[in-house]
Structure 1
Amino acid sequence: MIGFYFPGVGENFEYDVRGLLTSFFPGEEIKKIPGALTEEEQRAAGFRVVYAVPEPDFTRPYEDLKNSFMRRVYDELRVLSGTDLPWGTLTGIRPTKLIMQMLEEGRRPVEIAEHMRRIYYLDGEKLSLAIAIAQRERAVLAGLSGPEGWSLYVGIPFCPSRCSYCSFTSYPIEKAASKVEPYLETMFYEMDQSIPLMKGVIPDTIYIGGGTPTALSAGQLDRLLDKICRSVPADRVKEFTVEAGRPDSITPEKLQVMRNYPVTRISVNPQTMQQRTLDTIGRLHTVEDIVRAFGMARDAGFDNINMDLILGLPGETSADVQDTLAQLKPLAPESLTVHALAIKRASRLRREDNGSGEEDRFGPAYEKDEPAAMMRAASSGAQEMGLFPYYLYRQKNMAGNLENVGYAAPGKEGLYNILIMEEKQSILAVGAGNISKAVYPDGRIERADNVKGLEEYRLRIEEMIERKRKLWL
């Protein structure tokens, strides 16, 4: 356990300090305490480290004050922990957003690199990656509608089974079978009431995510796609994604249903090609099922298929990642999304902590150099497949303090992924546990979230709709 306290003023930066502490001491409980402890008190309370946060220099302008303060905290924590962070002082989920803003201001990449090194301690391969992605995102966004555009997100919170690492709103469909039809009817009503708020503007993208949308039956999936296509001119959007996801939920019949509608992009998500890991995390399918599902999607005519991988799954090493990429290469997906494992409070992996400590439970995932080796293996494997990085985001509690990176062949970038990360246009999200986001012409962003529980979502649907009206009316 890591303790911290503020001897003087500066508690306005508690959130940022927590972010750095979490990054420097992954897997540790971070706890704020009232003040200093003696060595005896520290040991008795179970603190491995107690950190006295320095006082900010309030003579500086706010942004300079915050950045100089974060650099000082970083310098002290680097000494305490004996390590450096790959993303410097940046603790937010959108490190490319700063770079995108500077590109839009007309600053050259060399100037941006110098600024990021000096202000945020960001350097090396992460800096190069972030600049390259921001440049590619900017080129892709130039072909979209801009701030006046919007995207539709449709959430299906059902899965064949719940994976042990999952923290999303998701229910095993066998146990929740009686709730699927009422959920769909409620969501269809939400669409009827919410989509008119977009005043007839055609969305740039449609994204059906989850959960696992293909956990629905073929008939239910057909009704869902029909409803969407009757609600918006789906044949005129720039991208229509269905996150098919779990290979054990994909059938020729469901693929044909999707082909009957203007779906342009799907995901078939292995997470890993190591059978022992699939068994460990609760996946009820085999490696062969992954290959079979991908082949069925190709046979159905899909020419834009994404595959998701997770680095840092229990017991896996960089050698396993290399082997997974080698097995995916012959399939030649158009895009690959590489996630560094983030263990969240709502996941079964965290809830099942037996007190042995995350480093023991996850093995190589939390060793000093292994997460970076995994990410390099994934990057190298993706580029060997002709895929290049196009979007990036970070999360708390990620193995190795790394990042999630989307790789794609030229022209096959996931447009919705870029839009949601760079916050360049509004997202209307329907379904339980999803968050709508209104982006206004002045750059202001406001959000409206839907409740997560299926029954609560059904009973409070008018309230969810009213929250959206307040965003757009």
Structure 2
Amino acid sequence: MMINVKLNNKEFNYDVYQIINLFFLFPDIKFVEENYDYNIEVKEDVIVIQKGSESYEYIINKSYKRKEEVKKAVFLYFSKHTTDELPWGTLIGIRPSKKALELLQAGLSEEAIIAEFKEKHVTREDKAQLCIDVAKFEKNIVNTKKDNISVYIGMPFCPTRCLYCSFASNPIEKCKDIVEPYLQSLAHEIKEVSSYIQEKKLKIECVYFGGGTPTSVNDEQFEFIMKCIYEGFTEKNNVKEFTVECGRPDSITYKKLSTMKKYGVHRISINPQTMNDDTLKLIGRTHSVGDVTEKFTMARELGFDNINMDLIVGLPGEKITHIIKTCEKILELKPDSITIHGLSIKRASKLHEKMLNNYRFEVPGQEELNKMYEYTVELSKKLHMKPYYMYRQKNMVGNMENIGYTRPGYEGIYNIQMIEEKQTVIALGADAVCKVVFLDENRHERFANIKDVREYIKRLDEMIQKKIELLETLYGSDANELSD
């Protein structure tokens, strides 16, 4: 869909674009001077939106930032012309719970925070309350010490590439020749970064092995890299949490689960995404619902008492009946935490490519999506879980959220630290992003390893050097003297 917009102040182009984008699926929004569909004028006291002979006026509240008022005006205008209920209103940021946490720390009551969310951002009350609930859960866990860090290790391989995926997840059957060189390179990076951490006497709180799918390599390769991670980061560091995102049930074996127990993994994630075989086939997964149950049961029998399961709401072809079945099956398994994702249609995914080429996928409408989310909330209550972390993404079907629920004491600490951006995360592997947090300045800087696996192998020493140079701006001798 082509949408041409005339806007008298280019300062607000991004904000107007983001709000209009909420109401349409893949709109082609362009800012023009003539032949426009909508004319938006931001004046001193009022915002005027015109379409043809129709005119809409919004009186600016000068106690709020001007760009927030522009977003609200555009949101209210388009809300009048659709039956869709977008419960997050104008909140398009990744971390809405951070706003709630800041307001709680400023001494505002829950009622006052909800009122501000509704008035300023047109946020539905239950979503504002969700932000508060997550903020209250997080506030005693969020990092406050510079020398506390987490470590992320990435495995850029998967059994197959899912329809919606945009991550570095190369189908392992197509790149077997580079798996061994990659693991050797990753082992080298682990050794170098481990030495740096020891030298600076940094305290590792969490180690997270993700991907891709860490368990997509064979049993011997998995044992090799797990031993490297253990010796480099967890053996002598008394970490609070060592997580392995097993992910795909078709990649999990008894030997790999035994290896994880051997090297002290605390928490694993087994991610079905849906418990419907027809959907699994459509999205490009080669496992079945039966495989999910089998591998989950195997993990329990081996003594894993902290298992997370990821689910996606809004998958192509899914209806209310599908999400009901998924929730029923997950309730039977009784995981210790669940993470509910809204489908995000990423530009680098096969799903986006196919939709651009007019391949017809049936995606749930807004009202149906809202009901689907309600079923996942009910599932969390039946499992005696509470929301503990949350984030949002662009291009999410239905403008919803990704949210983690947990039984008390089983929350993923790494998830909280990563989302709240108050702890330095040293990331290793292809496409892994290192984030160095300057707590005193309330800012962070990133360094990303190369995404291409072959280039990562070739240029690894260069990346290690650049990563350490960035870390030295926080942990080097001069930096330490300044912070003292």
TM-score (norm: length of structure 2): 0.89
- Tell me, in whole angstroms, the C-alpha distance in 1 between the residues paired with 2:416 and 2:313: 21
Correspondence 1:123-272 to 2 at 5 A: 123-141=124-142, 146-198=145-197, 199-234=200-235, 236-272=238-274
Contact 1:4 1:51 (C-alpha < 8 Å) held by counterparts: yes
1:113 pairs with 2:114:
yes
Task: Give 1:100 shift.
Answer: 1.3
Task: Give 1:461 shift.
Answer: 1.9
- Name the counterpart of 1:42: none
Contact 2:85 2:367 (C-alpha < 8 Å) held by counterparts: no
More divergent stretch after superposition (348-357 vs 59-68): 59-68
Task: Give 1:96 shift.
Answer: 0.7
> Given the superposition, is the C-alpha separation of residues 338 and 273 from structure 1 closer, same or farther in structure 2, using an over 3 Å criterion?
same
- Tell me, in whole angstroms, the C-alpha distance in 2 between the residues paired with 1:274 and 1:470: 48
- The C-alpha deviation readout for 1:32-76, integer Å capped at 9, x for no partner, is 2322316xxxxxxxxxxx333332649998961222222222222
- Tell me, in whole angstroms, the C-alpha distance in 2 between the residues paired with 1:232 and 1:400: 40
Task: Give 1:146 shift.
Answer: 3.7
> Given the superposition, is the C-alpha separation of residues 281 and 169 from structure 1 closer, same or farther in structure 2, using an over 3 Å criterion?
same
- The C-alpha deviation readout for 1:108-130, integer Å capped at 9, x for no partner, is 22222222222212132111111
Partner of 2:203, secondary structure, is: coil
Q: 2:285 aligns with which of 283, 293, 300?
A: 283
Structure 2: which amino acid aligns with 1:470?
Answer: E
Partner of 2:315, secondary structure, is: coil
Partner of 2:395, secondary structure, is: coil
Task: Give 1:301 shift.
Answer: 0.7
- The C-alpha deviation readout for 1:199-244, integer Å capped at 9, x for no partner, is 2212111100011101122221222121122222445111100001
Task: Give 1:253 shift.
Answer: 0.6
Q: Which runs of 5+ in 1 are unaligned?
A: 39-49
- The C-alpha deviation readout for 1:143-166, integer Å capped at 9, x for no partner, is x56443211000001111111111
- Name the counterpart of 1:22: 21
1:452 pairs with 2:439:
no
1:100 pairs with 2:101:
yes
Task: Give 1:395 shift.
Answer: 1.0
- Name the counterpart of 1:422: 420
- Name the counterpart of 1:122: 123
Contact 1:160 1:174 (C-alpha < 8 Å) held by counterparts: yes
Task: Give 1:472 shift.
Answer: 1.4
1:335 pairs with 2:337:
yes
- Tell me, in whole angstroms, the C-alpha distance in 1 between the residues paired with 2:372 and 2:61: 41
> Given the superposition, is the C-alpha separation of residues 253 and 86 from structure 1 closer, same or farther in structure 2, using an over 3 Å criterion?
same
Q: Number of residues paired by the alignment?
A: 454
- Tell me, in whole angstroms, the C-alpha distance in 2 between the residues paired with 1:373 and 1:270: 21
The structure with the largest strand share of the pair is 2
Q: 1:53 aligns with which of 11, 15, 40?
A: 40
- Tell me, in whole angstroms, the C-alpha distance in 1 between the residues paired with 2:63 and 2:196: 37
Task: Give 1:104 shift.
Answer: 2.3
Q: 2:391 aligns with which of 390, 393, 404?
A: 393
- Tell me, in whole angstroms, the C-alpha distance in 2 between the residues paired with 1:14 and 1:173: 42
Partner of 1:399, secondary structure, is: coil
> Given the superposition, is the C-alpha separation of residues 385 and 55 from structure 1 closer, same or farther in structure 2, using an over 3 Å criterion?
same
Structure 2: which amino acid aligns with 1:3?
Answer: I
- Name the counterpart of 2:307: 305
1:471 pairs with 2:470:
yes
> Given the superposition, is the C-alpha separation of residues 6 and 289 from structure 1 closer, same or farther in structure 2, using an over 3 Å criterion?
same
Correspondence 1:69-84 to 2 at 5 A: 69-84=70-85
- Tell me, in whole angstroms, the C-alpha distance in 1 between the residues paired with 2:216 and 2:158: 5
- The C-alpha deviation readout for 1:406-448, integer Å capped at 9, x for no partner, is 1110110111111111111111111111211111022111111
> Given the superposition, is the C-alpha separation of residues 207 and 15 from structure 1 closer, same or farther in structure 2, using an over 3 Å criterion?
same
- Tell me, in whole angstroms, the C-alpha distance in 1 between the residues paired with 2:467 and 2:145: 20
> Given the superposition, is the C-alpha separation of residues 118 and 354 from structure 1 closer, same or farther in structure 2, using an over 3 Å criterion?
closer
> Given the superposition, is the C-alpha separation of residues 469 and 281 from structure 1 closer, same or farther in structure 2, using an over 3 Å criterion?
same
- Tell me, in whole angstroms, the C-alpha distance in 2 between the residues paired with 1:467 and 1:57: 47
Q: Which runs of 5+ in 2 are unaligned?
A: 46-59, 473-484
Structure 2: which amino acid aligns with 1:110?
Answer: E
CA RMSD of aligned residues (A): 2.1
Contact 1:165 1:343 (C-alpha < 8 Å) held by counterparts: yes
Task: Give 1:347 shift.
Answer: 1.1
Task: Give 1:196 shift.
Answer: 4.2
- Name the counterpart of 1:44: none
- Tell me, in whole angstroms, the C-alpha distance in 2 between the residues paired with 1:438 and 1:104: 24
- The C-alpha deviation readout for 1:269-325, integer Å capped at 9, x for no partner, is 111111111111111111111100001101111000000111111111122111111
> Given the superposition, is the C-alpha separation of residues 81 and 330 from structure 1 closer, same or farther in structure 2, using an over 3 Å criterion?
closer
Structure 1: which amino acid aligns with 2:71?
Answer: M
- Tell me, in whole angstroms, the C-alpha distance in 2 between the residues paired with 1:222 and 1:401: 40
- Tell me, in whole angstroms, the C-alpha distance in 1 between the residues paired with 2:429 and 2:32: 42
Contact 2:6 2:40 (C-alpha < 8 Å) held by counterparts: yes
Between the two proteins, what is the percent identity of the paired residues?
A: 39
More divergent stretch after superposition (242-251 vs 434-443): 434-443
> Given the superposition, is the C-alpha separation of residues 34 and 460 from structure 1 closer, same or farther in structure 2, using an over 3 Å criterion?
farther
- Name the counterpart of 1:32: 30
- Tell me, in whole angstroms, the C-alpha distance in 2 between the residues paired with 1:127 and 1:2: 33
Q: 2:355 aligns with which of 349, 353, 356?
A: 353
